[in-house]
């Protein structure tokens, strides 16, 4: 994976966009990763995978029965923690 410093990303934004169409680009600020820029096509692919995953989970829950409140809360909490 290529990387740009935050300064380079700002100063060479067009190049950053071009590179993100080829592969994900890591943006680093003060030596720490802060963002990853991906092409719109890659973003759509990942979103489709996530939708398919959760549709499969919902289908399994429907087929296998309701999990119950504690298990549902744990599953939702784990999902929300991934977004933080």
Full domain range(s) for residue 51: 41-83
Number of domains in the chain: 2
Residues 55 and 24 in one domain: no
Ramachandran area for residue 68 (φ above 0: left; ψ -120 to 50: alpha; else beta): left
C-alpha 40/C-alpha 48 separation (Å) is 12
Check which CATH number belongs to the domain holding 27 and give it. 3.40.1620.10
Could you tell me if 29 and 53 are in contact, meaning their C-beta atoms sit under 8 angstroms apart? Answer: no
Residue 27's DSSP bridge partners are 4, 35
**Is the domain of 34 the same as that of 45?**
no
**45 & 79 share domain:** yes
Chunked into runs of 10 residues, the chain (84 residues) has average pLDDT values of 96 97 97 97 96 91 79 87 73
Mark whether 46 and 71 lie in a shared domain: yes
- pLDDT computed for residue 84 by the predictor: 60
């Amino acid at each position: 994976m290529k990387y740009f410093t935050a300064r380079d990303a700002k100063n060479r934004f067009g190049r950053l966009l071009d590179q993100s169409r080829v592969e994900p680009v890591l943006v680093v600020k003060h030596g720490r990763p802060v963002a990853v820029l991906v092409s719109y096509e890659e973003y759509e692919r990942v979103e489709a995978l996530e939708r398919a995953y959760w549709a499969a989970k919902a289908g399994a829950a429907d087929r296998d029965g309701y999990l119950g409140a504690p298990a549902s809360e744990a599953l939702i909490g784990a999902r929300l923690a991934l977004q933080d």
